[in-house]
């Protein structure tokens, strides 16, 4: 049996869609720019939201790429056969161009043709939207699959919970999707077995979303003027579909596992969960640390998640008896594997290693404090048993997994209130999930006039900071809601009151000038030569948009923007603080002229 490699699948996918008129665009940052709804880029569509809403993309109406993605909702599940926190999403998009017929026929060709993935047709299953009061049954997709030769026995009509995407927030683009599954060797779990039952017989690896509706604030589903196609195929998932095994059994992890084995006397067969956690979390940490936006461990937002990933990796590395500092060796294996595809990892290698070593040292100190806390707790047991709340405090505050606490308890011959611990842990998880869900309020599609104004203000702020503090300042992330902007930038110290006031004055000077905001499409090289600033993530020769605001700002960006700086009102900085190591954060608002009069 032929075993496919990750390099082969990436190349095949891009080649297939490039031959069908799709422009190849670069992977965006794993840190969303100006998106308050998510901590990380979780799908290829996130960076494309303005274009799915009607903005013109400089590369055209047919796009394809391989996008770096991070999903952290199931960190504690990593170590099983299916969960990863980092993955690569291959995608192709139609921005008001082709629709269901082309999308479905191309998917069928790529999946089943001997020239491409060559998956036997009898091993393929499909799901489509069954319809409800909001939107009709997707009979068109069903008919297209049947006409291509898909067996009617392996096409399943499923409800909105299974075959509908969006909107990402309260309102915005949404629509039915059709999903592609490989049929595993597992027997049916019963007469009603389908991709919705979760028994493992069906493994989903490609999703074609047809954005044809707009959900209004009143809850109505209206037809969109511009219909789009948004697809996503997980690289790890398709390797499982083709080669079998688990998401950890591909070439993506081979060299990483080999490096772990060199650092320990154990084997992958002996400790599969520990190997997987260390490999997955180190890989994700490398991509966050190596990103253009430069996130480092901290106690807030992405920095907090990064810290949690590194510390969980360290805990399992300790379980494997890997020496302190071993994570850096494993990180080098990750960089070696991916540096040709994502060269930013190589250019940021020193920073990645330095930050991993520093965070591991901090965690070792915290663990030592936790051991002292454990000693105190073990001297005040109730009926020879450690209270569940105390066991959870060791986990939540000091990073002690329950397995470590139980091991220490066994050594000292006392028990743990495991039921009480699990109750606390479950409440913690529910609160975390609720907090993550809360971030989606407002939605990816909130491109109101106010958010456009605030987005425009970040350009002026960026330019002003470079004037006041020097050209060492570079954007390290931004987050915009309808009420305020948040802008992270590289700088090594706290700003003075005078610097904050001067920055605010320069932004308001640009606003008072009433400068028209214009944009041009040009190549990345031309953008550089004109002095435009911004994240230069695009590939050589790729077209980008450059927004100009008179003499004040020239920056690469995708939008949305105001028409004139005079539309912004008055810019007010409300806070300047540390975000993470050598990264500062400004929070600011725009006050309308009417409100001030």
Q: Which residues are annotated as a binding site?
A: 455, 459, 557, 561
Pairing of strands 385-386, 415-416: parallel
Query: What does 277-310 look like in DSSP terms, one character per residue?
Result: HHHHHHHHHHHHHTSTT-----SSHHHHHHHHHH
Distance in Å from the first CA to the final CA of the chain: 75
Please, how many CA atoms are within 13 Å of residue 331, restricted to the half-sphere of its CB? 29
The helix or strand, by DSSP H or E, that contains position 64, with its residue range, turns out to be: strand 62-70
For the record, the structure tokens of 466 come out as: 């470079």
Nearest alpha carbon to residue 447 among 37, 15, 31: 37
The angle, 0 to 180 degrees and rounded to 10, between the axes of the packed helices 6-18 and 251-263 is 150
In what order do the strands lie in the sheet containing 570-580?
475-480, 485-490, 583-591, 570-580
17 C-beta neighbours (distance < 10 Å), count: 23
State residue 52 phi and psi, 5-degree precision. Answer: -65, -25
For the record, the structure tokens of 456 come out as: 């425009």
| Cα 129 → chain centroid | 26
Cα separation, 383 vs 586, whole angstroms = 52
Nearest alpha carbon to residue 458 among 112, 36, 158, 69: 36
Nearest alpha carbon to residue 337 among 296, 290, 288, 283: 283
Please, how many CA atoms are within 13 Å of residue 352, restricted to the half-sphere of its CB? 28
Cα separation, 89 vs 43, whole angstroms = 7
Binding residue numbers for Zn(2+): 455, 459, 557, 561
């Amino acid at each position: 049996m032929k075993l496919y490699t990750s390099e082969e699948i990436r190349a095949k996918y891009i080649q297939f869609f490039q031959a069908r008129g799709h422009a190849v665009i670069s992977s965006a940052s794993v840190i969303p720019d100006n998106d308050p709804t998510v901590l990380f880029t979780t799908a290829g569509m996130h960076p494309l939201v303005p274009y799915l809403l009607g903005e013109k993309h400089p590369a055209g109406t047919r796009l394809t790429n391989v996008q770096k993605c991070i999903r952290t909702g199931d960190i504690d599940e990593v170590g099983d056969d299916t969960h990863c926190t980092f993955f690569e999403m291959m995608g192709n998009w139609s921005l008001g161009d082709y629709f269901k017929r082309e999308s479905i026929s191309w998917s069928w060709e790529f999946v089943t043709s001997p020239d491409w993935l060559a998956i036997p047709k009898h091993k393929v299953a499909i799901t489509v939207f069954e319809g409800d009061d909001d939107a009709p049954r997707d009979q068109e997709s069903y008919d297209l699959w049947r006409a291509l030769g898909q067996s009617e026995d392996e096409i399943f009509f499923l409800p909105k919970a299974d075959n509908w995407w969006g909107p990402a927030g309260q309102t915005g683009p949404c629509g039915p999707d059709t999903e592609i599954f490989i049929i595993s060797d597992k027997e049916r779990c019963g007469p009603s077995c389908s991709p919705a039952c979760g028994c493992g017989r069906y493994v989903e690896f490609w999703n074609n979303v047809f954005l044809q509706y707009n959900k209004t604030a009143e809850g109505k589903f209206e037809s969109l003027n511009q219909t789009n196609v948004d697809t996503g195929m997980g690289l790890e998932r398709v390797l499982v579909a083709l080669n079998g095994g688990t998401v950890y059994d591909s070439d993506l992890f081979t060299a990483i596992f080999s490096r772990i084995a060199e650092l320990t006397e154990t084997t992958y067969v002996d400790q599969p969960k520990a190997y997987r956690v260390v490999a997955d979390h180190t890989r994700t940490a490398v991509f966050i640390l190596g990103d253009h936006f430069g996130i480092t461990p901290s106690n807030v937002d992405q920095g907090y998640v990064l810290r949690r990933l590194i510390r969980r990796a360290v805990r399992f590395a300790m379980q494997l008896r890997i020496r302190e500092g071993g994570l850096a060796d494993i990180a080098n294996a990750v960089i070696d594997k991916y540096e040709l595809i994502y060269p930013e990892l190589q250019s940021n290698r020193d920073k990645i290693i330095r930050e991993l070593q520093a965070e591991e040292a901090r965690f070792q100190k915290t663990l030592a404090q936790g051991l002292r806390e454990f000693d105190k707790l073990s001297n005040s047991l109730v009926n020879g048993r450690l209270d569940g709340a105390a066991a959870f405090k060791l986990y939540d505050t000091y990073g002690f997994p329950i397995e470590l606490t139980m091991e220490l308890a066994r050594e000292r011959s006392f028990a743990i209130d495991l039921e009480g611990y699990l109750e606390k842990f479950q409440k913690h998880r529910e609160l975390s999930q609720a907090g993550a869900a809360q971030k989606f309020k407002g939605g990816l599609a909130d491109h109101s006039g106010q958010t456009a104004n605030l987005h425009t203000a970040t350009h002026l702020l960026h330019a002003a900071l470079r004037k006041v503090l020097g050209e060492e300042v570079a954007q390290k992330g931004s987050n915009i809601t309808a009420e305020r902007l948040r802008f992270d930038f590289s700088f090594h110290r706290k700003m003075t009151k005078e610097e904050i006031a001067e920055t605010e004055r320069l932004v308001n000077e640009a606003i008072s000038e009433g400068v028209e905001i214009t944009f041009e499409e040009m190549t990345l090289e031309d953008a550089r030569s004109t002095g435009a600033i911004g994240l230069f993530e695009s590939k050589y020769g790729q077209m980008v948009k450059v927004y100009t605001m008179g003499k004040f700002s020239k920056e690469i960006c995708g939008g949305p923007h105001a028409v004139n700086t005079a539309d912004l009102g008055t810019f007010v900085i409300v806070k300047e603080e540390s975000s993470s190591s050598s990264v500062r954060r400004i929070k600011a608002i725009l006050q309308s002229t009417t409100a001030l009069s």
